Amino acid sequence: MVKKTAPAAPNADEGAADTKSARTRQRILDAAANVLSRKGYAGTRLSEVADIADLQTPAIYYYFPSRDDLVEEVMWSGIAGLKEEVTAVLADLPADTPPIERIMVAVETHLRHELEVSDYATASIRNSGQIPEKMRTRQKEEDSAYGRIWRELFDDAAAAGDLHPELHPVIAQMLVVGALNWAAEWWSRSRGSLDDVVRNAQLMIRNGLSPDRG
């Protein structure tokens, strides 16, 4: 898998000071996101997280009571960060951007964030079905909120006549987002550039949704 940068995860405590302790906590989260994105839930070891974060393993317990608490934070942060990125990019588009073009922008933003920008997003997407259900409460809430962004995109496209009349907007949305998420499982630079992935995804989705397809 391509090595990505690991931007700061969204912090549940927005008033947290930029102290040495806060920076150390962030370093642990970044390291955990990196390991979890590559090795999965079962393969994530605190010893490797500590090595990447340049800490002794016991130091992690000062910030997180358990391995699962650390993983849960990474999983939530991954979806929260992805949602924030897509929301921000869509908000910057001109108000008259056609609904189908807004979907294309969301497709590109999702893929680039998942595959190139954030270990957190990759970790969250790849491990969603691996972690125990009790650890998924916050992540599932963010998943639902993120899904509502895509639901609105597809509803708007349907209302504008940008979707084939035989398509069910919700089913189409779930299939599209599922395909975007699956890219985290198979893509590497040896399979083509990320630009190629984005172009192919946009072409397939645009043609698949179009009311004018043959």
Residue 147, domain member (yes or no) = yes
How many domains in the chain?
Answer: 1
CA–CA distances in Å: residue 150 to residues 26, 29, 101, 190, 212: 29, 28, 13, 30, 22
Among candidate residues 195, 181, 189, the one with its CA nearest the CA of residue 4: 189
Residue 214, domain member (yes or no) = no
Q: Which pLDDT value is given to residue 189? A: 85
Q: How far is Cα 147 from Cα 86, in angstroms, rounded to an integer?
A: 11
Q: Which pLDDT value is given to residue 192? A: 85
The one-letter code for the residue type at 132 is P
Q: Which pLDDT value is given to residue 136? A: 87
Q: Report the helix count and the strand count for the chain, using DSSP H and E.
A: 9, 0
Residue 49, domain member (yes or no) = yes
Q: Which pLDDT value is given to residue 213? A: 58
Q: How far is Cα 55 from Cα 9, in angstroms, rounded to an integer?
A: 19
Residue 155, domain member (yes or no) = yes
Residue 35, domain member (yes or no) = yes
Residue 2, domain member (yes or no) = no
Does the predicted model carry a pTM greater than 0.85? yes
Residue 10, domain member (yes or no) = no
- H or E segment to which residue 178 belongs: helix 169-186
Give the dihedral sign, CA 198/146/155/166.
Answer: positive
Domain that holds residue 81: 20-209
Give the dihedral sign, CA 31/70/110/15.
Answer: negative
Q: Which pLDDT value is given to residue 13? A: 54
- Residue 92's CATH number: 1.10.357.10
Residue by residue, pLDDT tens for the chain (214 residues) are 344 655 555 555 544 556 989 999 999 999 999 999 999 999 999 999 999 999 999 999 999 999 999 999 999 999 999 999 999 999 999 999 999 999 999 999 999 999 999 999 999 999 988 898 888 889 999 999 999 999 999 999 999 999 999 999 999 999 999 999 999 999 988 888 999 999 999 999 999 999 985 5
Q: Which pLDDT value is given to residue 188? A: 87
* Virtual torsion, Cα 170, 173, 175, 176, nearest 10 deg: 170
Residue 15, domain member (yes or no) = no
